[in-house]
Each structure stands twice: as structure tokens, then as C-alpha cells.
Amino acid sequence: MKRLKLIALFLFSALTLQVSAQQKKYAMVIHGGAGTILKKNMSPEMEAAYIAVLTQALQAGYAQIKAGKTSMDAVEATIHVMENDPHFNAGKGAVFTHDGKNELDAAIMDGKTLMAGSVAGVTTIKNPISAARAVMEKSEHVMMVGAGAEQFAKEVGLEIVDPKYFWTKERWNGLQKAIKEDSTKAVLDHGSKKSELLGSKNHDYKFGTVGCVALDKAGNLAAGTSTGGMTNKKYGRVGDAPIIGAGTYCNNETAGISCTGWGEFYIRNVVAKTISDLMEYKSLSVAEASKIVLDKVGKMGGDGGLIALDKNGNVAMPFNTEGMYRGTITTDGKIEVSIYK
Amino acid sequence: MKRLKLIALFLFSALTLQVSAQQKKYAMVIHGGAGTILKKNMSPEMEAAYIAVLTQALQAGYAQIKAGKTSMDAVEATIHVMENDPHFNAGKGAVFTHDGKNELDAAIMDGKTLMAGSVAGVTTIKNPISAARAVMEKSEHVMMVGAGAEQFAKEVGLEIVDPKYFWTKERWNGLQKAIKEDSTKAVLDHGSKKSELLGSKNHDYKFGTVGCVALDKAGNLAAGTSTGGMTNKKYGRVGDAPIIGAGTYCNNETAGISCTGWGEFYIRNVVAKTISDLMEYKSLSVAEASKIVLDKVGKMGGDGGLIALDKNGNVAMPFNTEGMYRGTITTDGKIEVSIYK
């Protein structure tokens, strides 16, 4: 009798677990950047604005999936919302380079075919994520940079804007502040050339990248990332976002991953592909693999976060900063959005 | 007695194996590109010229190691020889873009610190591998592209040349041929825009990249790659060479890797880091790991080759093309250079 009870209990638990796993099956995960995001520094209006746009971004992608479109369509639709919203460091609202320009990077990857596309250092393409997708679908290349990438985007009919479109007052003020802080620092360094070459040391100038991973009804994953890079960046610096394997990677056999943070550390650790490899070669879960690689970044002195969604709809959203704008939507449409730890 | 003999035989075999392993401990491995390199198409003079410069490149790096310098110094010195020689598609001798320019890419990585540097789309830096090293050592960045990277190289005192320096007659003729073939193809495609966007379909226009991996006396690995990319390339295309994790990767715990071939497939497979991960997470040998990943590239339709050198001085040089310019030097200075299968 006792044994029967135990079996019944086991069956009940298994059933509960299965139901809870079903409830927790995620269709999409997004991030809007990691950094020193503290509740005490956030006005209620600002907080509400972030939550609203993160929700809207998730809804835009989910509508695609619900309509039977691909995860690629969902990723592109979601990132459009964030690129078009000035709150994020991607598309409109991108940070300024030292020369007062907005240089944008983006990448997208299809987990089914392992096809990928990316653009870096573009200044006239309204939605860089769509340019990345066009590179993937309409050229034989994976990566295009600068004026060449812009020319390509124009030829394939993407929306081209005057670079002024990307200008926002907040980011412009951010640049002025960064330049002032850096020049103060240079004086303190006795005018050594090195600090100038090293660029800004304020980590938070690096953050605000957006990203999305989606799993569609056919079981296909896609991942995308879009960013304006780093405030006051110089010398045509490119971060991890447009580097396949570093800031963006996707494979139906493992997971889709999009990173945000101090890009140089993400490139050196080839973060996104390493997470996928830990899943493939060590049979780790998406959460375990993500944690191990982010810990490596942290130990080296890098900070940031990432989102990952595996082929079974399990999600991971680790970060080692104060906060990360992030959100998920489950396959039954339940949205959760968070900002702080 | 029989048993004693067996033991003696075993000991003798073990000793022989050890000696042979010691003899086969490699200090450096290089490549000068993979492609349809057939003996029947090669004049004896051309063959001798390739063998001479590959030998000279190995000697230049080995001199650094012998003098107690680092593997980084060896990689840079070796790649300088190949960048300065017009036989290879790197530095002088680089192929031309569709617009008649030479746009160069390079990357370098230090296996001890996992520091890395890379440049892409540069047109005025005599030795792009040195620019990649400067990005690593003299900036806080990993990757710089275009005019920004050139500005940086100038500020740190690297040799800047007139873009005409890179012009060679053979490569110029190659561009004219590629343009002609592509325009013929476009007409055959009924003038569709697609073939124009897709670019050249002649695989051999993609090859000739150079690379080097070195292991110094302190047991530190370094890897570097330098290339002119693809003949007739358009739209600021960037290949795998300057992408850390794709065409170039190095880690003292595993191996240093430099790739050459159809770059897009190497980016999508994140080739170099995946080889390292197979060694780290599946305990595969450098040869096994290299073969698995190159086979993946081949199955997808990509071709090319790679060189890899592990922390114990074991080397792998697989390629799935007709030939690959390649060479090794053992720790006792023995040079081997090969071209064909």
C-alpha cells in the first residue's frame, strides 16, 4: 500500500513537473542591455517607459510566431521595435563615436541552416538588423562593413536615412560628458598618449545593446543583436555584437544566444559559440553553459550579460552587472519583463 | 625469459616513440593559402619561388624563438615575410576588390593571455599583422575597421604606405578576369540583379591567405592570419581571417589555429574556436578536432584548409582543396615545406 502511494506520488510529481515545464516553455527572450542600472537612479516614468517598450517588442515578435512565421521574422520584428525606440543603444538612440557619429553594428543567425549575416560601422541604415538579414539572404557573404554595407543595403531596397535620424539629445550629452571625463583623465595621466588611445574607461558607456532569441512553431531557433557600440569610441572600433560566435550565435542543435556587455571580453572568449559547444560537447544545460562562460568573462575583468534560449524552450538570462533590461514570453503568451537583479 | 624479452621490446618501443615524439615536436607551422593548386599548372620556377619564401618565412620566425623571443614575435616576423612577398594574398600581392582597391584584414591572438587584436578593410598599412598586434597591445579594443584602424596605426607609428604599394600586375589581371567572368555570368542569368549581389562564384578568387602558429621556449602559443580577402569582393565584405574564433584563435590550454579558405563557411562554423573546444571539452587531439571541423565546413559546401599547433608541439595541417602552401619547423630547426596533396 505504501509502495502504491509512493508510485502515485511519483506519478503526480512527474505530471506536475511536466505541466510546469510546459508552462515554462519560452517562445522568445530579449535584452535591452546590461549595466549599472539601479532602481534608486530610475524615475517611475522612465521605468514604466522601459517596461512598455520591452513588452511591445516581445509582442511584436510573438505576433509573428503566432501567425506561423519563422523565428527569423520574430527576431527581426522584435529588434525593429527596440532599434526604433530611443531608449536603447541601437538604431535611433545609439551612442555617439568620438567624432560625433552614430556607427551601428548588427548580426542575425538562423539556427536551422547556420546561415548568418552581419554589418558593422554603418551610419545610414535605419534598421541594421534588417541589413544583417539581407547580407545573409541576398548575398553570399556573412559580414559587410562601412560604406560597402550601406551601398548593399541601399541596393536591396532597405530604408536609408540621413545620419541625423539617429541623433538624440541624451546620447549627445553623454558624448560631451565622456569627452570631458576622458580629457580630465588625460590631464591626470600627464597628457600621456596612452589614455587617449585606450579610450573611455567608463564601463557604462559600453552598454545598451539589444538582442532577441526566438523559437518558432516549427522548432527553429534564430538569434539577433543590434548595437550602437560604445560612447566616444574611436578608430572604427567593432565590438562583439556583429561577430558571429562572440555576441551572436544560433544552432537548432543547442541554443540561440545574444550578448550585451563589454564587447572586447566577449570576443576574446568567443562567448556565444562556447556556450553552444558546452551544451553540445559536455551536455550541459543552457543555464549551466551560460553561467560558466559569463563567469569566465567576469574573471577576466569583463562585465555584461546575455540571453539564451535552447531548442526545448528553456531560457537563461545571466548578467554580472547591477541590472539588465530583459524579458520573456512563453509559448502561451505570458510576458515577464525585468530590469534589476 | 620470453617475458623479459617482451618487456625489453616494450621499453625499446616506448623509447623509440619518445624519441620520435621529441623529433616531431614542432615550433612553428605556417600556411600560404589553400586552393586549386595543381603541379601540372605550376612552373618549376614558380614552385621554387614558393618553397623559397615559405622557408624564409619559417626561418624568420624561428630566429625569434631561438633568440628567446615570444611566440607573438615569431608569428609577426613570419607573417611579415609573407605579407611583403607578392606571391601571397596578403600585404603586397593582395587581391583587388571590385572597385580596384586592396582591402586588407588581419588578426593575432596570444594563447597565454587570450588577448587578441584585429583589423579589417585597411588600405594603407604596410603590415596589417602589426596593426592587429598594435590594436591588441596599445588599445583597449580587439577589432578596428577601415579608416579608423588606419588612423590608429598611424598614431602608434606603424609604416603607412600609398595604396599603390599593394598593386601587382598579376592580381590586377585577376580582377579584370573576374569582372569579365562575372559580367558574362550576369548576362547568362538574364541580367538578374542577384548574381551581381552574390559576387564572384570562382572559388579560387578567395584563397591565398597566410597564417602562422608558433610555440615559444616558455611554452606559449600565438596565432596570426593576414589576407587580402577575395578577388572582386564588394560591399566591404569581411571574411574569417580577422574574426577571432573563426579564422584565428589561440589558447595555451589547447592550440593555436589559423584558417584559409572560403571565409563565409569558416565564420558560420566558428572554426578555430570549435577546434579548441573539441580539444578542451572532448579531449580530442589537435588532428582529430581539426579534421572534424574541416569536415563540417566541407559538408556545408565550403573548402579550404587550416593549420593548428597544440601546446605539446603537435601539428595538424588538413585541407580539402587540391593543395595548400604550408610548412613546419621543428624545435630542432628541421624545415618541411609542401604544396600539393
Whether chain A has a CB inside 8 Å of the CB on B148: the answer is yes
Q: Are strands B237-238 and A255-261 parallel, antiparallel or unpaired?
A: unpaired
Cβ(A257)–Cβ(A308) under 8 Å?
yes
- Are B197 and A155 an interchain contact pair (Cβ–Cβ within 8 Å)? yes
In this prediction, residue A53 carries a pLDDT of 97
Give B 203-232 residues with CB within 8 A of chain A. Answer: none
* DSSP at B244: B
The CA distance from A258 to A23, in Å, is 23
In this prediction, residue A3 carries a pLDDT of 55
Bridge partners of A125, per DSSP, are A160
User: Residue B193: is its pLDDT beyond 50?
Assistant: no
In this prediction, residue B23 carries a pLDDT of 46
Cβ(A30)–Cβ(A212) under 8 Å?
yes
- Are B270 and A238 an interchain contact pair (Cβ–Cβ within 8 Å)? no
Q: Are strands A255-261 and A304-310 parallel, antiparallel or unpaired?
A: antiparallel
In this prediction, residue A7 carries a pLDDT of 52
DSSP B318-338: -BSSSEEEEEEEETT--EEEE
- Are A139 and B114 an interchain contact pair (Cβ–Cβ within 8 Å)? no
The segments of chain A whose pLDDT lies below 50 read 1, 11-23, 186-203
Q: Report the residue count for chain B.
A: 341
In this prediction, residue B4 carries a pLDDT of 52
In this prediction, residue A37 carries a pLDDT of 86
In this prediction, residue B232 carries a pLDDT of 87
Q: What percent of chain B has pLDDT over 70?
A: 86
The CA distance from B293 to B275, in Å, is 7
In this prediction, residue B190 carries a pLDDT of 40
Provide φ and ψ at A319, rounded to 5°: -155, 150
In this prediction, residue B124 carries a pLDDT of 97
| Residue B5: partners with Cβ closer than 8 Å, 6 or more residues away | none
The CA distance from A96 to A77, in Å, is 25
pLDDT band at B19 (very low <50, low <70, confident <90, very high): very low
In this prediction, residue A233 carries a pLDDT of 87
In this prediction, residue A41 carries a pLDDT of 86
Cβ(A222)–Cβ(A72) under 8 Å?
yes
Give A 5-44 residues with CB within 8 A of chain B. Answer: none
Which residues of chain A are within 8 Å of residue B237 when distances are taken between CB atoms? 141, 143-144, 148
In this prediction, residue B7 carries a pLDDT of 52
Cβ(B276)–Cβ(B257) under 8 Å?
yes
User: Residue B51: is its pLDDT beyond 70?
Assistant: yes
Distance, C-alpha B159 to centroid of its chain = 22
Q: Which residues of A are catalytic?
A: 209
Average pLDDT over residues B250-269: 97
Place of cell 595604396: B163
Q: HSE (CB half, 13 Å, CA atoms) of B312?
A: 11
Cβ(B222)–Cβ(B70) under 8 Å?
yes
The CA distance from B277 to B258, in Å, is 15
In this prediction, residue A72 carries a pLDDT of 98
Give this complex's ipTM: 0.90
In this prediction, residue B35 carries a pLDDT of 86
**pLDDT tens-digit series, residues A32-87:** 999 888 888 889 999 999 999 999 999 999 999 999 999 999 999 999 999 999 99
Q: How many CB atoms are closer than 10 A to CB B287?
A: 15
Domains with residue ranges and CATH for chain B: 27-340 (3.60.20.30)
In this prediction, residue B205 carries a pLDDT of 56
Best residue of A145, A198, A297 to probe chain B, by most B CBs closer than 10 Å: A145
SS3 annotation, B122-146: ECCECCHHHHHHHHHHHCCCCEEEH
User: Residue B24: is its pLDDT beyond 90?
Assistant: no
User: Residue B102: is its pLDDT beyond 90?
Assistant: yes
Cβ(B218)–Cβ(B91) under 8 Å?
no
Average pLDDT over residues B296-309: 96
Cβ(A115)–Cβ(A136) under 8 Å?
yes
Helix pair angle (A271-282, B271-282), 10° resolution: 40
List, in sequence order, every beta strand (DSSP E) within chain A: 26-35, 104-110, 116-122, 143-145, 210-215, 221-227, 237-238, 248-250, 255-261, 304-310, 315-316, 323-330, 335-340
Cβ(B265)–Cβ(B166) under 8 Å?
no
User: Number of A:B CB contacts under 8 A?
Assistant: 159
Nearest CA in chain A to B282: A281
Q: In this complex, which of A141, A244, A267 lies closest to B143 when CB atoms are compared?
A: A267
In this prediction, residue A2 carries a pLDDT of 52
**pLDDT tens-digit series, residues A166-190:** 999 989 998 998 888 876 654 444 4
SS3 A319: strand
